[in-house]
Homo-oligomer: A and B are copies of this chain.
């Protein structure tokens, strides 16, 4: 695993399975969000507080997932998150979902910073700094 990634462990929920006996495909995107929030947290950033205090939001502009192996109930998954692009007002995250040591899915989400009315805004410096600092630390 690379140093500029963050890994989040998630227990598979019974609610997330479907009658095919595996995790239903939209739940991978929920896990991406959980992992993304956790990535922020690992860089000292609190996504919930950003929304509440800055009144800026980071909606998803595009999301993709490629499903390689079914994910099953019983063993936890690990989501490896990597920030692959940092623009002035956008971010791209890549994800890998692993279970039992194997890659079950890979995906990515693209985000744009917007204000309460949905208009694009420049990413606040402390967020950019938070992300950069982490990147610096992890690429010595």
Residues of A within 8 A of B (CB): 11, 13-15, 17-22, 24-27, 29-30, 33-34, 37, 46-49, 51-52, 57, 59-67, 70, 73-74, 118
Contacts and interface: CB of A to CB of B under 8 A. Distances in A.
Q: Work out how many copies of this chain go into the complex.
A: 4
B29 A29 contact: yes
Given A30-B15, A30-B26, A34-B13, A20 B59 contact: yes
A24 B34 contact: no
Given A48-B74, A67-B60, A24 B14 contact: yes
A118 B52 CA distance: 18
Contacts of A19: 14, 17-22, 51, 73
A49 B74 contact: yes
A138 to B, nearest CB: 23
A126 B11 CA distance: 24
Nearest to A118: B70
Given A18-B18, A18-B19, 13 more contacts: A11-B34, A11-B37, A14-B37, A15-B18, A17-B19, A19-B51, A22-B59, A46-B74, A49-B74, A59-B67, A61-B67, A62-B66, A70-B118
